[in-house]
Amino acid sequence: MDVDQSRSASALLQTSLAQFRVVAIVGARQVGKSTLALQAEGRHYVTLDDLSALAAARTDPRGFIAALPRPATIDEIQRVPELLLAIKEVVDRARRPGEFLVTGSARLDTLRGIRESLAGRVALLPLRPMTFLELRGAPEASPVDRLLACDSARDAAATFAAVKPGPMPTGKDFLAGGFPEPALHLDDAGRRAWFREYRKSYIERDVPAVLRIEDTPAFLRFLTACAATTAQLLNLTDIARDVGVSVDTARRWVGVLETTFVAERRTPFFRNLRTRLVKSPKLMLCDSGLAASLLGVDAWPAASDLRPIGPLFETWVHAQLTAHAELCAAATELHFFRTHGQLEVDFLLARGRRLVGVEVKHSATVRPGDAKGIEGLAALLPREFRFGVVLYLGRTVIPLSAHAVAVPLDRFFAP
């Protein structure tokens, strides 16, 4: 299997096809949904990007599904969501696993339609841009599972100190992101051109399918403004003012970004504590490469105090953690933690009643003060919070405090 076909979700896809009548691969355009779907061999394949197939499906959804040889794979099914009801009728009569494999690039039609029409019959398989480990041919590795297997900071220090380091992620990786084409096959100039075309095709093709937007230049400004606030608390009032649209319009447009998997709202961890917790979500773009392109960042700045550095780095780590967390066998949630007193932990992994924090620092050095948020959270939730790690660009695993350990990126994201 070529490296650009090696996905962490491959094994889960085969398992799901053996158990569920319908499997849906959903994610942003160009993340590799079609490539993953084609790994399921012995299936009739049709894509609704083909104009003839699209016309036939729109004209007679029931007839289109009835005529398909099965098992069948339907690519970009969000273009004709009426097919979902026709699929439901078929799989209710023939209760065989793996009858239909579908892919979709829009959350509004695909997920809502599947949940309403195919509840209990479908396995949803989210596919995100490729992770750092997938890009390096190690899709089976799970840093999130490795982290959550630890019981304490001391245990985590011993675990990651024993890991053989892999390649150290660099600015080039953060700028390339995880979309397979720019990350695997293009040089710097090609990457910049690819992201320019992606923005154009996204606004011209994906957005109108979700919501009719008359003012395209304003939406492009909005998209850029969202990139400028990636990994920060979402403030719709500020974004709307900067773009020159109403808050209601900004709210709808955030929904468009979420519907098409270009961005998402990462929710804060919330419990009824005496400490006042921030309840606003963070806005996270799906890919650091896309965010950097929108911001015009063509080369990774050498000075760590330049404004885009921290948020783009955090966006990259977020993409890694989210992709791995979604594929864990045990249900794993990803949040962040922040109080109104500015006590903050960048990410909080929750598995059952176990909580583990992850701080990120774009630096080759760490200080005990970098564990302030982790220690503060340990004091607030002593029974549930186990420990936290500070991910950084150094080379040594360093205990920072009773509940925190600094872990180099090349050890955390090691095969």
Strands in 398-401's sheet, in edge-to-edge order, are 333-338, 344-351, 354-360, 385-392, 404-408, 398-401
Q: What is the dihedral of CA 158, 162, 168, 173, to 10 degrees?
A: -80
Give pLDDT, residue 1. Answer: 39
Angstrom distance (rounded) from CA 59 to CA 47: 16
Cβ 385 vs Cβ 135: under 8 Å: no
| Radius of gyration of the chain, Cα coordinates, nearest whole angstrom | 22
pLDDT of residue 343: 87
| The predicted structure's pLDDT at residue 122 | 87
Neighbours of 160 (CB within 10 A): 22
Q: What's the whole-model pTM score? A: 0.93
Q: Strand pairing of 122-126 and 100-104?
A: unpaired
Give phi and psi for 38, each to the nearest 5. -70, -10
**264 sits in which H/E element:** strand 263-266
CB 334 within 8 A of CB 321: yes
Q: What is the pLDDT of residue 3?
A: 44
CA distance 356 to 388: 5
Q: Sketch the domain layout of the chain as residue ranges.
A: 3-127, 134-412
Q: Which positions ≥6 away from 100 have C-beta within 8 Å?
A: 21, 22, 23, 70, 71, 72, 73, 74, 87, 90, 91
Burial class of residue 312 in the structure, from the number of CB atoms within 10 Å of its CB (0-12 exposed, 13-18 middle, 19+ buried): buried
Which amino acid, one-letter code, is at 196?
R
Q: What is the mean pLDDT of each run of 10 residues along the chain (415 residues)?
A: 68 95 94 95 96 97 96 93 91 92 77 66 92 95 96 98 96 95 95 95 83 87 96 96 96 93 92 70 97 90 65 97 95 92 92 95 95 95 95 97 98 96
pLDDT at 208: 81
**In whole angstroms, what is the distance from residue 173 CA to residue 336 CA?**
24
pLDDT of residue 344: 92
Question: Which ranges of 143-298 does DSSP label H, i.e. alpha helix?
Answer: 143-148, 153-161, 171-176, 180-184, 188-201, 207-210, 216-228, 236-243, 247-259, 288-295
Q: Under CATH, which number does the domain 3-127 receive?
A: 3.40.50.300
Report how far residue 186's alpha carbon sits from residue 193's, in angstroms, rounded to the nearest whole number. 10
Strand order in the sheet with 282-285: 232-233, 282-285, 263-266
